[in-house]
């Protein structure tokens, strides 16, 4: 069995979990709480043990194990680091999304580490916590990879300041597993023996909960919501019923070290523990800063010396962001020497209300200027989290009168300018695995406007930039969206009638832009109109179309003319996530079976029924020299796992998972049945993301040759 190194960087989730007070109490009981900590066990004024954060994301952790292909018979939890951003509410829905970030090789016989990171948001939009998981695969080392970083926590050379005894019951794993960690190692005696243990062992995360309770009790009693970090390394296994002691060394106000030992033999079962918490004063300040915040984030706003850009910069700073205020200070058409005054004035406004900001006067129209803007952020604040591309100029003329210099000047600022700043900012965001980017389009680009061919072309070009950047940024948690503002700015002050200007304040656009810049925004690749407090979404959609003529014949011009009513219809139009998916309707149109017929033929076909029929559909004459294993992982209530081995001219179908398949096919149960009945074209399913192929993609193409279903 080999680790799937291709899983590094691939997004997992979002996975969701609904919970209420009963889930919190069940978890608390599972980690040893009782009448002496009634605040964790009684719904009246209930408090949440922060380590519940890991119990709430077991489904994500399971996906990490599946995606990495770690050998489950040798898997243990290695390390866990949790960063808390906000207190956990007592009910709601949690949404978790993340990636596998690293796989480290400790050497043959010494195992491997799989590291994943995930952010969890509450259904109210608040970012609650970030989990960094390290899974130890005892049987997966020796693949020649990076051994990874090494480091240890140095405990003080003195007795611990506090010690908290605990006695997990002999049945503790049976109670704890009801919170979601149902791995057989903690309940099945035979599985435990096969894994090298005398009996089922304690969940490391159950002991983790005991330790979490202990540090709260001594360091910030009765206020679990003050915890900001809880990191541990799981160093030894523990059997149920064995007493433990959590030892705590307070280093300073807000930080302590801890470890948990087996009280019978002195072995450290949880090591290198770090706990951090905020002061009571900080907690009160946080309560006063509720809502969408940008604390500790760095934002760049181009064209921020006036109008929309100024409002964006001020609002971001009010909500805690450090802001780079960029403005060349030129005229509306981009002419002139420029001036530092517009950027300086906005920086002064921000500082006057207690915010942090620095000015930048570079032009976005050159690659050097774009890099310098980003460098200003890095030099002043050390990072870039948010970029709002807002800079713009106007040089309006009809197409015939549009001189090349006027065309180029507008393109240089709007389209090339966005590229010039976005590219270096994207590099920094990718390093930090986080970013929010806003592009500014216009109704002129989306719908056209007389006398603005240069401006309209540049603004529509930004949509293309967004459409591809969203795909490239997806696995790095970089989200990019585009806004078409309708606002009174220096570009529109002599275009719009005076009575309308008052209603078109930039302040009405800013709320949508700030939401799209926030951590809680899950959206990427969308276009929005915004103005006067009215917002709507714009989308590029594709009509259903029609086939003209016969499949093997080139249609005539006259036939196309006759079919234009169907060709131009957008009734039932679809929106596609990428260019590949847009080919789906074409492929479906030439599917060997029409959808209506296929629906009838599928009848009572099931996923299990498909695999029962595989041996009869096998074509041995086409299998000469073929040696492959096809793994099918079909999700959904009607799904399951099967693998098909084709070797020496024979075919064998087995329910379950193979250790090292040649190719893995993943689909939902409904889509799989539709594909097997001919209702869904295989290539269309693949391009639309309904069919996922891992491993040897080319070998998957043998399936159609080997089986006639």
Q: What is the pLDDT of residue 594?
A: 43
Q: What is the pLDDT of residue 595?
A: 41
Q: Quick: pLDDT tens for 83-120.
A: 999 899 999 999 999 999 999 998 888 889 999 999 99
Average pLDDT over residues 148-162: 89
First CA to last CA distance, the chain: 31
pLDDT band (50, 70, 90) for residue 598: very low
State how far the Cα of 62 lies from the Cα of 73, in Å rounded to an integer.
14
Q: What is the pLDDT of residue 602?
A: 46
Q: What is the pLDDT of residue 597?
A: 41
Stretch (H or E) spanning 415:
helix 404-432
Q: Quick: pLDDT tens for 493-505.
A: 555 566 666 678 8
Q: What is the pLDDT of residue 289?
A: 64
Question: Does the structure show a pLDDT above 60 at 1?
Answer: no
Q: Is 455 part of the annotated catalytic residue set?
A: yes
Q: What is the pLDDT of residue 489?
A: 57
Rounded CA Rg of the chain: 30
Question: In the β-sheet with 435-440, what is the strand arrangement from edge to edge?
Answer: 356-360, 322-326, 298-301, 386-388, 435-440, 478-485, 527-531, 534-538
Q: Quick: pLDDT tens for 274-289.
A: 999 999 888 877 766 6
Question: Does the structure show a pLDDT above 50 at 593?
Answer: no
Q: What percent of the chain has pLDDT over 90?
A: 60
State how far the Cα of 62 lies from the Cα of 184, in Å rounded to an integer.
13
DSSP string, 163-229: EEEE---TTHHHHHGGGS---GGGT-HHHHHHTT-SS----HHHHHHHHHHHHHHHHSTT-GGGEEE
Give 554's DSSP letter. Answer: P
- Return the higher-pLDDT residue of 221 and 625: 221
pTM, entire model: 0.62
Closest to 413 (Cα-Cα) out of 489, 362, 448: 362
121, 312, 361, 455: which one is catalytic?
A: 455
pLDDT band (50, 70, 90) for residue 470: very high
Average pLDDT over residues 170-195: 91
Walk me through the domains of the chain, giving residue ranges and CATH numbers.
Answer: 5-142+153-286 (3.10.129.10), 294-538 (3.40.50.720), 541-575 (no CATH), 581-706 (3.30.1050.10)
Q: What is the pLDDT of residue 596?
A: 42
Q: What is the pLDDT of residue 687?
A: 65
Q: In this predicted structure, which of 5-14, 244-253, 568-577, 587-596 has the lowest mean pLDDT?
A: 587-596
Average pLDDT over residues 677-700: 77
Average pLDDT over residues 347-361: 94
Question: Does the structure show a pLDDT above 90 at 676?
Answer: no
Stretch (H or E) spanning 597:
helix 595-602
pLDDT band (50, 70, 90) for residue 464: very high
Q: Quick: pLDDT tens for 648-669.
A: 889 999 998 888 899 999 998 8
pLDDT band (50, 70, 90) for residue 467: very high
Q: In this predicted structure, which of 148-152, 244-248, 652-656 has the lowest mean pLDDT?
A: 148-152
Q: Quick: pLDDT tens for 331-344.
A: 877 777 778 999 99
State the chain's mean pLDDT as an integer: 89
pLDDT band (50, 70, 90) for residue 601: very low
Q: What is the pLDDT of residue 693?
A: 86
Question: Does the structure show a pLDDT above 90 at 384?
Answer: yes
Average pLDDT over residues 73-86: 87
Question: Does the structure show a pLDDT above 90 at 677?
Answer: no
The two tokens of residue 92 are: 């709601």
pLDDT band (50, 70, 90) for residue 212: very high
Q: What is the pLDDT of residue 270?
A: 96
Question: Does the structure show a pLDDT above 90 at 379?
Answer: yes
């Amino acid at each position: 069995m080999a680790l799937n190194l291709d899983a590094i960087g691939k997004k997992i989730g979002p996975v969701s979990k609904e919970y209420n007070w009963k889930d919190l109490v069940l978890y608390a009981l599972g980690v040893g709480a009782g009448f002496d900590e009634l605040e964790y066990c009684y719904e009246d004024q209930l408090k949440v043990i922060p380590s519940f954060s890991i119990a709430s994301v077991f489904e994500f952790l399971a996906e990490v194990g599946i995606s990495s292909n770690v050998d489950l018979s040798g898997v243990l939890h290695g390390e866990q680091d949790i960063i808390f951003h906000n207190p956990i509410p007592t009910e709601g829905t949690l949404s978790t999304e993340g990636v596998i970030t690293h796989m480290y090789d400790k050497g043959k016989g010494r195992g491997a580490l799989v590291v994943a990171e995930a952010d969890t948001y509450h259904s109210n939009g608040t970012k609650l916590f970030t989990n960094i998981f390290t899974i130890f695969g005892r049987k997966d080392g020796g693949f020649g990879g990076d051994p990874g970083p090494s480091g240890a926590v140095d405990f003080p050379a003195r007795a611990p300041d506090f010690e908290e005894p605990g006695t997990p019951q002999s049945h503790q794993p049976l109670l704890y597993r009801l919170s979601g960690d149902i791995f057989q190692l903690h309940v099945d005696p035979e599985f435990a023996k096969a894994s090298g243990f005398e009996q089922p062992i304690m969940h490391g995360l159950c002991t983790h909960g005991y330790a979490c309770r202990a540090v709260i009790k001594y360091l910030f009693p009765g206020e679990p919501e003050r915890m900001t970090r809880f990191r541990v390394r799981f160093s030894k296994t523990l059997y149920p019923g064995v007493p433990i002691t959590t030892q705590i060394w307070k280093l300073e106000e807000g930080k302590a070290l801890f470890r948990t030992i087996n009280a019978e033999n002195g072995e450290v079962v949880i090591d290198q523990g770090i706990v951090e918490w905020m002061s009571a004063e900080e907690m009160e300040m946080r309560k006063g800063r509720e809502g969408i915040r940008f604390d500790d984030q760095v934002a760049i706003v181009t064209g921020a010396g006036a109008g929309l850009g100024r409002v964006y910069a001020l609002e971001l700073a009010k909500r805690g962001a450090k802001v780079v205020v960029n403005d060349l200070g030129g005229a509306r058409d981009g002419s002139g020497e420029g001036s530092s005054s517009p950027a300086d004035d906005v920086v002064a406004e921000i500082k006057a209300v207690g915010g942090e900001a620095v000015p930048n006067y570079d032009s976005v129209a050159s690659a050097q200027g774009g890099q310098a803007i980003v460098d200003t952020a890095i030099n002043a604040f050390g990072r870039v989290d948010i970029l709002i591309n807002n800079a713009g100029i106007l040089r309006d003329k009809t197409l015939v009168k549009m001189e090349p210099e006027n065309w180029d000047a507008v393109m240089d600022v709007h389209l090339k300018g966005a590229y010039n700043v976005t590219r270096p900012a994207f590099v920094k965001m990718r390093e930090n695995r986080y970013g929010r980017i806003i592009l500014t389009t216009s109704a002129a680009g989306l719908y056209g406007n007389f006398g603005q061919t240069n401006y309209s072309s540049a603004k529509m070009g930004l949509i293309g930039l967004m459409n591809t950047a969203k795909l490239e940024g997806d696995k790095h948690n970089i989200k990019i969206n585009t806004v078409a503002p309708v606002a009174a700015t220096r570009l529109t002050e002599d275009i719009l009638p005076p009575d309308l200007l008052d209603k078109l304040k930039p302040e009405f656009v800013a709320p949508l832009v700030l939401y799209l810049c926030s951590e809680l925004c899950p959206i990427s690749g969308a276009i929005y109109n915004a103005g006067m407090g009215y917002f709507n979404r714009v989308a590029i959609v594709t009509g259903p179309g029609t086939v003209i003529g016969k499949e093997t014949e080139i249609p005539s011009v006259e036939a196309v003319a006759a079919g234009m009513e169907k060709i131009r219809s957008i009734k039932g139009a679809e929106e596609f996530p990428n260019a590949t998916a847009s080919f789906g309707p074409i492929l479906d149109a030439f599917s060997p079976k029409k959808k209506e017929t296929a629906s009838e033929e599928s009848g009572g076909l099931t996923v299990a029924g498909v695999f029962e029929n595989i041996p009869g559909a096998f074509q041995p004459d086409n299998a000469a020299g073929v040696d492959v294993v096809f793994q099918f992982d079909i999700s959904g209530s009607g799904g399951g796992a099967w693998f098909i081995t084709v070797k020496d001219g024979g075919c064998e179908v087995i329910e379950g998972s193979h250790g090292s398949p040649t190719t893995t096919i993943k689909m939902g149960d409904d889509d799989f049945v539709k594909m097997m009945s001919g209702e869904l074209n295989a290539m269309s399913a693949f391009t639309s993301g309904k069919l996922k192929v891992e491993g040897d993609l080319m070998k998957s193409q043998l399936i159609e040759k080997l089986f006639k279903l």
